[in-house]
């Protein structure tokens, strides 16, 4: 049986159902696809762009993947979540194009939003995710035994059903519990400040003075709530923006990009970039330039 498209090397959709593997604190990341994230159980705050969210079981998050995001689960309890990463173009292979545009609207217009599912909606989401997880496992195993026939087609139908449910939930659910404590409100103020000013030269004194907090309190509080330091967040925000700029404009020089995202010293930018991304900024820029040549007129861009 030939491999279905979505489990090839460049597969347009990936799923992890009820994953419980530990996450290291401060695991900032971004990716060139959309994400559906469902929180089953545990204790976790989630940082997405400039939003800090305290999760409750049944929370479903829609993410525009190129936005920097980072979970901070409590280490002493299981952290159970389901994730689906998909290329928006894949949706057009599952439903008609007009329907696909409508189903992608929540991801493109709301960007990064939390939908608190409760009662019937929560049960329906968990039932559908469990069935999708079962079918996804069958497709990956390449077996037609135990109900595996047409598993890929059945998975695709259920994925479309999930998108229709999400479309409906977006019309009825609110993101009403973003911050639950004064401590989290303080951290949200810090994140919003850094989001607005990350392109400027900043010190901890600048941040603390602007927000009328002591440096010690600011540092300790940010670390406790997000799992990372203030400057880990700031550097990751700058590097993520640099990746986006290299992707959108690979003709820009490394120096131009470094300065545009807030780095004064090119050596610092290069060192941080290589540590976080695994290659030099110049190598990444060349890679983006080659990909742009190979895929002219690509239908999707990160912003």
Using the 3D structure, point to which of 128, 144, 170 is the last residue of a domain: 170
Q: Looking at the structure, do residues 100 and 236 belong to the same domain, yes or no?
A: no
84-120: pLDDT as tens digits: 999 999 999 999 999 999 999 999 888 789 999 999 9
134-190: pLDDT as tens digits: 999 998 887 656 566 789 899 999 999 999 999 999 976 545 444 458 888 899 899
Q: What is the CATH number of the domain that holds 15?
A: 2.60.120.280
Task: Tell whether 176 is covered by a domain.
Answer: no
Task: Tell whether 177 is covered by a domain.
Answer: no
Please determine, for residue 223, whether its predicted confidence score (pLDDT) is greater than 80.
yes
Domain total for the chain?
Answer: 2
Using the 3D structure, point to which of 170, 199, 226 is the last residue of a domain: 170
Q: Looking at the structure, do residues 25 and 142 belong to the same domain, yes or no?
A: yes
Q: Looking at the structure, do residues 159 and 263 belong to the same domain, yes or no?
A: no
244-275: pLDDT as tens digits: 899 888 899 999 999 999 999 999 999 999 99
Q: Looking at the structure, do residues 21 and 129 belong to the same domain, yes or no?
A: yes
- Average pLDDT on 208-237 reads 93
Using the 3D structure, point to which of 147, 170, 193 is the last residue of a domain: 170
pTM for the model stands at 0.74
Q: Looking at the structure, do residues 22 and 156 belong to the same domain, yes or no?
A: yes
Q: What is the CATH number of the domain that holds 221?
A: 1.10.10.60
Task: Tell whether 303 is covered by a domain.
Answer: no
CA dihedral (67, 12, 297, 103) in degrees, to 10, reads: -70
33-81: pLDDT as tens digits: 999 999 999 999 999 988 889 999 999 999 987 788 899 999 889 999 9
Residue 216 domain boundaries: 182-294
Q: Looking at the structure, do residues 200 and 256 belong to the same domain, yes or no?
A: yes
């Amino acid at each position: 049986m030939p491999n279905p498209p979505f489990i090839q090397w460049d597969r347009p959709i990936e799923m992890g159902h009820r994953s419980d593997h530990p996450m290291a604190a401060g695991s900032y990341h971004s990716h060139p696809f959309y994400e559906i994230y469902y929180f089953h159980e545990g204790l976790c705050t989630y940082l997405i762009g400039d939003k800090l969210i305290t999760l409750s079981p049944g929370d479903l998050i829609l993410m525009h993947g190129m936005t920097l995001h980072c979970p901070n689960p409590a280490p002493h309890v299981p952290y159970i979540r389901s994730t689906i990463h998909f290329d928006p173009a894949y949706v057009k292979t599952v439903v008609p194009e007009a329907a696909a545009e409508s189903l992608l609207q929540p991801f493109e217009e709301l960007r990064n939003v939390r939908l608190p599912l409760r009662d019937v909606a929560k049960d329906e989401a968990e039932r559908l995710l469990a069935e999708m997880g079962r079918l996804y496992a069958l497709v990956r195993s390449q077996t037609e035994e135990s109900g595996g026939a047409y598993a890929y087609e059945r998975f695709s139908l259920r994925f479309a059903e999930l998108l229709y449910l999400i479309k409906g939930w977006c019309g009825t659910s609110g993101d009403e519990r973003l911050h639950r404590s004064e401590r989290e409100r303080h951290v949200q103020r810090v994140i919003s400040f850094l989001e607005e000013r990350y392109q400027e030269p900043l010190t901890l004194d600048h941040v603390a003075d602007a927000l009328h907090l002591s440096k010690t309190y600011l540092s300790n509080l940010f670390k406790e709530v997000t799992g990372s330091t203030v400057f880990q967040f700031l550097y990751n925000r700058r590097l993520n923006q640099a990746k986006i700029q290299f992707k959108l404009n690979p003709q820009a020089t490394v120096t131009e990009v470094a300065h545009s995202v807030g780095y004064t010293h090119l050596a610092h930018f290069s060192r941080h970039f290589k540590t976080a991304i695994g290659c030099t900024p110049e190598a990444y820029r060349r890679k983006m330039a080659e990909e742009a040549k190979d895929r002219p007129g690509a239908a999707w861009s990160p912003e």
